Amino acid sequence: MRHIYKQGTDANAPVLVLLHGTGGTENDLLPLADAISPGSSVLSVRGNVLENGMPRYFRRLAEGVFDIEDLLFRTKELNDYLDQASAEYGFDRRNLVAVGYSNGANIAANLLFRYEGSLKGAILHHPMVPQRGVEPPRLAGIPIFIGAGENDPICTPQETEDLNAILTGAGADVIVHWERFGHRLTSTEVDAAAAWFRKRFAGEGKS
């Protein structure tokens, strides 16, 4: 998969896996990594699907309607790629924290839904429930930050609450940060995610 890898200065800090929104690239979320954990190594991955020329991680049938068959295929593709990248770059596969926005947050959430142990934690900015009627594997104690908009027209508050309930029900330790800027990813939301990360991964990624 097309990507950027940046070696960090702190070998113990979680490796940040950056997953962009629709139309984004592997460059988009690099500033978030600097804000969240400057010492971390960073793997920023571009989605392999194009929608009207815009990169995505999986196909959709309409706004908010996912192509589940493709979602499953692409989630496996990403999970396999994380295995491959860990061998190529020599980082600990068990020490990954995903940072995703919108479409990127959705596939990160589906990694949690499908592959036990795939992520050590996740920062999900404006995610939806990736699959309905699916029970995630055991997520005991996995820390998850969800950034949401009280007036988000794409990811409604109910969608956020449903995802929170599913993840919490599987044992994850979830916090939801609410704002009122629609589907936008704001600097205040990023700051809240960074503060959460520092608290949850104390002593990791401080350099």
Q: Which fold has domain 3-200?
A: Rossmann fold (3.40.50)
Whether residue 207 has pLDDT greater than 90 = no
Cβ distance 108 to 120 under 8 Å? no
The two structure tokens encoding residue 206: 């401080």
Q: What is the pTM of this model?
A: 0.95
3-state SS class at 12: coil
At residue 203, the pLDDT reads 59
User: What are 148-183's pLDDT values in tens digits?
Assistant: 999 999 999 999 999 999 999 999 999 999 999 999
pLDDT of amino acid 63: 80
Output the six-digit token pair for 198: 């520092």
Distance CA 71, CA 12 (A): 32
pLDDT digits (tens, 9 = 90+) for 13-51: 999 999 999 999 999 999 999 999 999 999 999 999 999
Mean pLDDT over all residues of the chain? 95
In the prediction, which pLDDT does 206 show? 45
Residues carrying an active site annotation: 102, 152, 183
Annotated domain spans of the chain: 3-200
Rounded Cα distance between 170 and 166, Å, is 6
**The two structure tokens encoding residue 32:** 């978030």
Residue 117 has, within 13 A of its CA and on its CB side, a CA count of 5
User: Encoding tokens for residue 26?
Assistant: 């592997």
Query: What type of residue is 50?
Result: L
